């Protein structure tokens, strides 16, 4: 394909569109748009554009008109789509536009205007109609008081991403000091108390969105996000959460979950689903190369059982997805493979791979390990329908793991990959305290490595992200770590890399 001169000057030597210059945002950053701009949920012909208008005290009841514009150039002179939308206190003055009629696989630029000010200019990209390469960053667990969002800064600095896949814990609901104290870093989140009500969650998102590194990541790349538990409350399930305490005045769980869901939809660049109960599972097709299937393993699950409740852990009725989402997942896998799509990527929250033998107590019950029948149904479906080339993208554990995913690591599986049905790639936290900062856990690593033949990589000391590079013949997964979150930095280093050849369902050191 020949490039016009105008396209050429916006393109790097490797063919990726240049990032927006930093000063465009800084020079134009204004009070009205103090929470930045964002885009997300790209499809081949449309993408969600997001911003928030900050209004002066005393006019909170006002309805504000916001103009938006999307163009093919960073100067916004070649307008492709534009419009006017209204926002108000009813939706916390957030603005969401589903900009349609776009071309597939194209980089676009957008901005908003309201109250006489223009927002920073954002950059986004539609999904390709056909692709020979897709690059995605997988990230999770951004804890504002626990440290600086250097991982978001590193992602903002990459020109070579199609999208950022965020698998949850975009915020934490805790009171400051419970899981990270922001006092020393001047990163105490609002409200200081635990977020419980709609107003609390809104203010918590607003705190996070004042972070310049998070704003910059949103400004440069579309996000494809789904929640984990902390967008609601720790260890959430359909009917409650470990950190939901009605006896302490936190009210009804259904109301809290509804408030958390509403604030999520207001503040995140996700396409609004129909209905009022959580439905965040959805899929994205990157040409014929990859189907990204986003799952919600938190909001619709059964309650966790105790780690030693062996009968409960194996109970056949238990679900982690809920019946509708589970059937939807199987339909997505089937239609993806039938369409000839090379890879099926499951963007979800909690560890899927098996780490304890059946019939034994488990280490953690809030992963798929606590929903063994639900996991078996996925294995059954993959095996019976011969669904291949599945990569499970997980987070939640504040540590980095790479697995082959056999039904049993100890029976019918060889470390050469025979018997593996998928691979799993777990992203470390953006800033939450690493898993091994908890006493005693690091000591278990030699044991874990000895008893888990399917475990290819484990690091519980570092924060970072996973970079996926997908072609029709192989998938490359690279772990990038940042050296610190105690001061702002854009340093990073590559810590590990694995390749999965198509058809193999196994990871090999790259």
Contacts with Fe ion by CB under 5 A lie at 141, 169, 432
Residue 470's contacts (CB-CB under 8 Å, 6 or more residues apart) are: 133, 134, 135, 136, 286, 289, 290, 342, 343, 345, 476
Closest approach, Cβ 399 to Fe ion, in A, equals 10
Q: What's the half-sphere exposure (Cβ side, CA atoms, 13 Å) at 410?
A: 8
Query: Which residues fall within 8 angstroms of residue 440, CB to CB, at 6 or more apart?
Result: none
In the bound state with Fe ion, the residue whose beta carbon lies nearer, of 97 and 435, is: 435
Secondary structure string (H, E, C) spanning 117-130: EECCCEEEECCCCC
User: How far is it, in rounded angstroms, from Cα 181 to Cα 179?
Assistant: 7
Q: From residue 215, give the alpha-carbon distance in Å to each of 112, 141, 208, 266, 497.
A: 15, 16, 9, 16, 28
Residue of 468, 33, 92 whose CA lies nearest to 218: 33
- Minimum separation from the CB atom of position 229 to Fe ion (A): 8
Residue ranges of alpha helices (H) inside 222-349 are 253-267, 310-314, 323-338
Q: What is the DSSP letter of 211?
A: -
- At closest approach, how far in Å is the CB of 164 from Fe ion? 16
Nearer to Fe ion, 141 or 320 (CB): 141
Element of type H or E holding 134: strand 134-139
DSSP helix/strand/coil, 509: strand
CB of 436 to Fe ion, least distance (A): 15
With respect to Fe ion, which residue has the nearer C-beta, 141 or 390? 141
Pick 49 or 165: Cβ nearer Fe ion:
165
CB of 109 to Fe ion, least distance (A): 32
* Residue whose CB is less far from Fe ion, 291 or 366: 366
Q: Where are the alpha helices (DSSP H) in 180-284?
A: 198-208, 212-220, 253-267
Tell the smallest beta-carbon distance from residue 140 to Fe ion (Å).
Answer: 6
CB closer to Fe ion, 169 vs 216 = 169
Q: Are strands 290-294 and 282-286 parallel, antiparallel or unpaired?
A: antiparallel
Q: Which is nearer to Fe ion, 169 or 369 (CB)?
A: 169
- Could you give the residue ranges of the DSSP H alpha helices within 432-497? 445-451
Q: Least CB distance from residue 169 to Fe ion, whole Å? A: 3
CB of 142 to Fe ion, least distance (A): 8
Tokens 């590194």: give the residue.
Answer: 213
Closer by beta carbon to Fe ion, 46 or else 398: 398
């Amino acid at each position: 394909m020949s490039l016009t001169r105008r396209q050429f000057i916006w393109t790097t030597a490797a063919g990726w569109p240049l990032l927006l210059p930093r000063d465009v945002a800084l020079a134009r950053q204004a009070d009205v748009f103090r929470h930045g701009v964002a885009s997300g949920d790209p499809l081949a012909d449309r993408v969600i554009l997001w911003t928030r208008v900050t209004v002066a005290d005393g006019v909170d009841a006002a309805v504000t008109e916001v103009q938006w514009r999307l163009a093919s150039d960073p100067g916004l002179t070649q307008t492709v789509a534009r419009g006017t939308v209204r926002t108000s206190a009813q939706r916390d003055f957030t603005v969401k536009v589903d900009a349609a009629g776009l071309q597939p696989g194209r980089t676009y630029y957008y901005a908003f205007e309201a109250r006489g000010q223009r927002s920073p200019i954002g950059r986004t990209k539609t999904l390709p109609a056909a692709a020979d390469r897709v690059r995605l960053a997988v990230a999770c667990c951004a804890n504002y008081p626990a440290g600086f969002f250097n991982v978001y800064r590193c992602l903002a600095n990459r020109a070579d991403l199609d999208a950022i896949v965020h698998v949850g814990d975009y915020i934490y609901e805790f009171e400051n000091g419970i899981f990270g104290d922001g006092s020393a870093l001047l990163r105490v989140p609002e409200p200081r108390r635990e977020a419980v009500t709609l107003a609390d969650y809104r203010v918590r998102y607003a705190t996070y969105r004042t972070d310049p590194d998070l704003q910059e990541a949103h400004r440069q790349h579309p996000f494809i996000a789904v929640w984990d538990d902390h967008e609601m409350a720790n260890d959430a399930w359909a009917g409650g959460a470990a950190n939901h305490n009605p006896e302490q005045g936190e009210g009804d769980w259904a109301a809290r979950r509804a408030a958390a869901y509403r604030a999520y939809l207001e503040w995140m660049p996700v396409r609004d689903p129909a209905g009022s109960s959580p439905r965040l599972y959805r899929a994205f097709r990157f040409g014929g190369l990859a189907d990204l299937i986003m799952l919600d393993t938190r909001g619709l699950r059964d309650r966790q059982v105790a780690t030693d409740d062996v009968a409960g852990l194996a109970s056949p009725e238990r679900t982690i997805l809920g019946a509708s989402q589970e059937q939807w997942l199987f339909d997505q896998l089937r239609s993806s493979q039938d369409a000839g799509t090379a890879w099926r990527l499951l963007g979800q929250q909690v560890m899927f791979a098996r780490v304890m033998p059946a019939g034994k107590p488990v280490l953690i019950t809030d992963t798929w390990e606590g929903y063994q029948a639900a996991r078996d149904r996925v294995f059954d479906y993959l095996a019976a329908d011969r669904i291949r080339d599945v990569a499970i993208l997980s987070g939640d554990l504040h540590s980095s793991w790479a697995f082959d995913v056999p039904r049993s690591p100890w029976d019918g599986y060889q470390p050469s990959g025979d018997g593996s049905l998928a691979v799993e790639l777990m992203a470390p936290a953006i800033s939450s305290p690493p898993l091994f900062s908890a006493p005693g856990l690091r000591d278990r690593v030699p044991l874990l490595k000895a008893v888990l033949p399917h475990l290819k990589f484990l690091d519980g000391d570092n924060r970072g992200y996973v970079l996926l590079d997908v072609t029709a013949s192989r998938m490359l997964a690279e772990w990038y770590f940042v050296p610190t979150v105690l001061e702002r930095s854009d340093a990073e280093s590559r810590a590990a890399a694995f390749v999965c050849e198509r058809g193999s369902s196994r990871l090999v050191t790259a």
